[in-house]
Structure 1
Amino acid sequence: MIANRRRVATVAVLAVVLTVAIAVLPGHRGWFDVGVYHGAVGHWARGGDLYQWTTGNGYGFTYPPFAAVSMLPMAALAVAFLLHLLVDPVARRHEWSRWYALALSCCLLAGLNPVRDTVSFGQVNLVLVALVYLELWLVERGSRLAGVGTGLAAAVKLTPAVFIAYLLVTGRWRAAATAIGTAVAATTVTAAFAPDATRTFFTEALWDTDRVGRLAYVSNQSVLGVVARLDPTHPDRRLWVALVAVVLVVWATRVRRAVRNGDERAGFAVTGVVACLVSPVTWVHHLVWLVPGLVVIAASTLPWPPADPTARRRARAGVAGYVVLCSGLVWVFANGSAGPLGFLGANAYVWVSVGMLALLPVGHASPVTANSMMPQRHLDAGVASGSSEDMPPRLR
């Protein structure tokens, strides 16, 4: 009873501190994107062109038309689903209090700059991550519906389409076909109701990067953002393509290794990281795709403190990455990033993404995949006895 009271008090204090910090500290975006969506969709509903409406400073609706008819305020539900899927297996395996683990995780999640920006902008990113991680849930269970979540997410926003590439690279042909079919079906149905908007998006708006902001702006934490900040006037597209090719080769190698070792969660996490790196525009709020990678890194270092030197190094790197992502460091350089220090600071979140691409553990089965439903002491007892009778059939 006393332990539970302490846990409740800890969560309450953390929640209050975070709420006050988010409300008081600079950085709230005034629901800017909600205003864009509301203005553009309202203009469209009154018979105007969805992609011709812009704010006073030139920002307009940039998603496919399907997004305009499907956006709902589901961020809270998405967070609950994600944390349950990502954190609950870890809590069960280590026999932690599950509500306490999920509550602490929610507080840690709220501290991240990308999550704060997603909420204060009124963005849809967390819902898309939840849709893609519905895919993970289906793939782990061998469901015939695998592919639906990714297909719907790709119909709302093109970045999640990289998970279709993941399904192809790892040989999930049926799931990949389902994802492609779902995305095409959603887009086709929407096109039947909004043919002009669909045509405008795929022939004009999709290719116009200027309508979403300057590529060199510090909020663009993608590889192209780094290249653009080297030369804002004439970004070297050849350099960008070369760097993206390297990133994709590393990604393909690592996700295949993850799947060979039965670590679907690491494969999905690496794919979320690479989506942020290769996208031409990755605003800070898009970096919620890094959250599953942070969970995978944390799970790979348990029990705490890690005894293995590699796990200790990974733990230090994971904590450092989390702190950087909470800090809002890149905004210090919003008005200029000259010199080596400015270049390092203005691209801080990109370096975190690159580090996660390289350091996410994919060489052995994750403790939160096949073994996630069994407490650690049962696994330890089975290993010590050399017997598999107490283990579920899929682990024998």
Structure 2
Amino acid sequence: MPQGARRTLGQVGLVVVLAAVVAWFLSVAAERHGFFDLEVYHGALTYWVHDGGEIYDYLKPRSKYGFTYPPFAALVMLPMAYLSWHVAILVSVTLSVLASAVVIWWLLDPVAVRAGWTRWFTLAVALCLAAAFEPMRETVNFGQVNMLLLFLVAVDLLWLAPRGSRWLGVGIGLATAIKLTPGIFLVYLLVTGRWRAAATATAVAGGATLLAAALFPDASREYWTQAFWNTDRVGELAFISNQSLQGVVARLDPGHPSTLLWLLLVAGTVLVWARRSRAAVAAGDEPTGFALTGVVMCLVSPVTWVHHLVWLIPALILLVDNAMAAPAGGRRRRGLLAFAAVAYLVLISRLVWHWERGFDGVDGFVFSNFYVWISLALLLALPIRRPAPTPTPDSTASPTADSVAVDPADVPQLGKGERGASTGQRHRIGRLLAVR
């Protein structure tokens, strides 16, 4: 048998074994949520469309949970009212898997190319690992929309932004109209000086919201005047699944969480994020800006359930990316791979849930908030891919996939002046430097 065929056969065998191990792990470790959130969506839409009720009046039987998304989300999900329950499950799982595969491919394929890994094998291994990732399995088991929103934002920042597309901002606008938290990416466009893209995102989000208001005036009125302000519909802030800064503060004093402390923590976190995201875009490293913004969204949102932490996936992949770009066997590569491995293993372990019934004491503070500490570490330590130094005339080193010689005259805005660079210049610089 030719060597290439033996290699392919071995890779297929490894993927099959890994998939079997992950399937076993899910059977013993994954919580069964019975597509709880999907049942809320399906029930609310059915009640609205077929029973003549108001969508925001619906509560899932024997619970206090109802439809919490803006009216445009109800418009997007409207076809669900005409699907049977089992077909709705099939559609939800299929869309989440496809969206996950595309986003992971966009982030991981450049790593595979540079490292010389077989591309299909890399994606297959990554998808198996993603299936074991607690936020991902929670997203699927709840029937949540997280990966679809992540996909919409990724279309903008991983597909359109590197091409300098005039449509940059459409995906962010749609995601924000469906669920408000991705609106942080609109702020990201402003912070990094993409005024036209920010205007596009604002116009799309506003237009989608107005469209829903025109089609469903009663539902829109109820949402924006009542349901939006009713925080009881979301859940307890101190609940262990709330792995945001607000969750940390609430668990310090569940009865009287300090709003001032939370605001101070949010302000400091946003300042760090703004500085680092600007630096990433100035260096032409859009994927890192995208990843940092996903991380900060999880930190500053008042409620970040564990399933929302799928927004950490880009940062974890980029840790591996930066590790593989570092010299083989070096301390940097080992450190980044260890960081990625520890973060991943903790985020498949359900560690925080061991403190669900009590989070007092030092151990309770440390371990009940452990996913928050991982998010903060990613925000502070995720590397920004810097432009490679221009080789000296007597240099004999040949350029690598991560190091491309660039005429300094072609990159006039690097350094202090990068803040004034136009969008087109930043994208051109990124392509010249072959950052990705």
| Contact 1:314/1:359, CA 8 A, preserved across alignment | no
1:310 is displaced (CA, Å) by: 3.6
Q: What amino acid sits opposite 1:189 in the alignment?
A: L
Q: Identify the residue that residue 432 of structure 2 maps to in structure 1.
A: 394
1:307 is displaced (CA, Å) by: 4.0
Within 5 A, what are the aligned runs for 1:132-211?
A: 132-136=153-157, 137-211=159-233
Q: Identify the residue that residue 68 of structure 1 maps to in structure 2.
A: 74
| Contact 2:40/2:59, CA 8 A, preserved across alignment | yes
Q: Does 1:120 align with 2:125?
A: no
Q: Which moved more, 1:9-18 or 1:143-152?
A: 9-18
1:252 is displaced (CA, Å) by: 0.3
Change (3 A) 1:383 1:355: closer
1:363 is displaced (CA, Å) by: 5.5
Q: Does 1:17 align with 2:21?
A: yes
Q: What amino acid sits opposite 2:109 in the alignment?
A: D
One of 292, 311, 316 as aligned partner of 2:338: 316
Per-residue Cα deviation, 1:311-359 (whole angstroms, up to 9, x for no partner): 4323222211111111111111111111111111111110110010011
Within 5 A, what are the aligned runs for 1:312-391?
A: 312-362=334-384, 364-365=386-387, 379-380=399-400
One of 40, 48, 54 as aligned partner of 1:49: 54
Q: Which moved more, 1:73-82 or 1:19-28?
A: 19-28
Per-residue Cα deviation, 1:162-181 (whole angstroms, up to 9, x for no partner): 00000000000111111111
- C-alpha separation in 2, matches of 1:126 and 1:381: 30
Q: Identify the residue that residue 414 of structure 2 maps to in structure 1.
A: none
1:365 is displaced (CA, Å) by: 4.6
Per-residue Cα deviation, 1:184-217 (whole angstroms, up to 9, x for no partner): 1111111111111112222222222211110000
Q: What amino acid sits opposite 1:124 in the alignment?
A: V
1:51 is displaced (CA, Å) by: 1.1
| Contact 2:68/2:227, CA 8 A, preserved across alignment | yes
Q: Identify the residue that residue 239 of structure 2 maps to in structure 1.
A: 217
| Contact 1:117/1:285, CA 8 A, preserved across alignment | yes
- C-alpha separation in 1, matches of 2:401 and 2:379: 34
- C-alpha separation in 1, matches of 2:27 and 2:402: 50
Q: Does 1:28 align with 2:29?
A: no
Within 5 A, what are the aligned runs for 1:254-333?
A: 254-302=276-324, 306-333=328-355
| Contact 1:53/1:60, CA 8 A, preserved across alignment | yes
- C-alpha separation in 1, matches of 2:54 and 2:316: 41
Q: Which moved more, 1:26-35 or 1:200-209?
A: 200-209
* Partner secondary structure for residue 164 of structure 2: coil
- C-alpha separation in 1, matches of 2:52 and 2:215: 12
Structure 1's unaligned 5+ residue stretches are: 367-376
- C-alpha separation in 2, matches of 1:129 and 1:103: 20
Percent of aligned pairs with the same amino acid = 49
Q: Which moved more, 1:217-226 or 1:76-85?
A: 76-85
| Contact 2:70/2:177, CA 8 A, preserved across alignment | yes
Change (3 A) 1:365 1:118: farther
Q: Does 1:58 align with 2:64?
A: yes
1:16 is displaced (CA, Å) by: 1.6
1:237 is displaced (CA, Å) by: 0.5
Change (3 A) 1:283 1:383: closer
1:133 is displaced (CA, Å) by: 0.3
1:96 is displaced (CA, Å) by: 1.5
1:378 is displaced (CA, Å) by: 7.6
Q: What amino acid sits opposite 1:75 in the alignment?
A: S
Within 5 A, what are the aligned runs for 1:223-262?
A: 223-262=245-284
One of 30, 40, 44 as aligned partner of 2:44: 40
* Partner secondary structure for residue 84 of structure 1: helix
Q: Does 1:89 align with 2:110?
A: yes
Change (3 A) 1:139 1:345: same
Q: What amino acid sits opposite 1:68 in the alignment?
A: A
**Stretches of 4+ moved more than 6 A in 1?**
381-388
Change (3 A) 1:378 1:61: farther
Q: Which moved more, 1:228-237 or 1:63-72?
A: 63-72
Higher relative contact order (CA 8 A, sep 6+): 1
| Contact 2:186/2:201, CA 8 A, preserved across alignment | yes
Q: Which moved more, 1:201-210 or 1:234-243?
A: 201-210
| Contact 1:263/1:365, CA 8 A, preserved across alignment | no
Q: Identify the residue that residue 413 of structure 2 maps to in structure 1.
A: none
Q: What amino acid sits opposite 2:345 in the alignment?
A: V
Q: Which moved more, 1:296-305 or 1:177-186?
A: 296-305
Q: What amino acid sits opposite 1:286 in the alignment?
A: H
Change (3 A) 1:264 1:29: same
Change (3 A) 1:164 1:384: closer
Per-residue Cα deviation, 1:24-53 (whole angstroms, up to 9, x for no partner): 335121110011111111111132111111
- C-alpha separation in 2, matches of 1:387 and 1:183: 40
| Contact 1:159/1:279, CA 8 A, preserved across alignment | yes
Q: Does 1:129 align with 2:150?
A: yes
- C-alpha separation in 2, matches of 1:318 and 1:215: 28
| Contact 2:186/2:198, CA 8 A, preserved across alignment | yes
TM-align CA RMSD: 2.3
- C-alpha separation in 2, matches of 1:61 and 1:346: 28
Larger radius of gyration: 2
| Contact 1:215/1:225, CA 8 A, preserved across alignment | yes
TM-score (norm 1): 0.92
| Contact 1:22/1:28, CA 8 A, preserved across alignment | no
Q: Identify the residue that residue 371 of structure 1 maps to in structure 2.
A: none
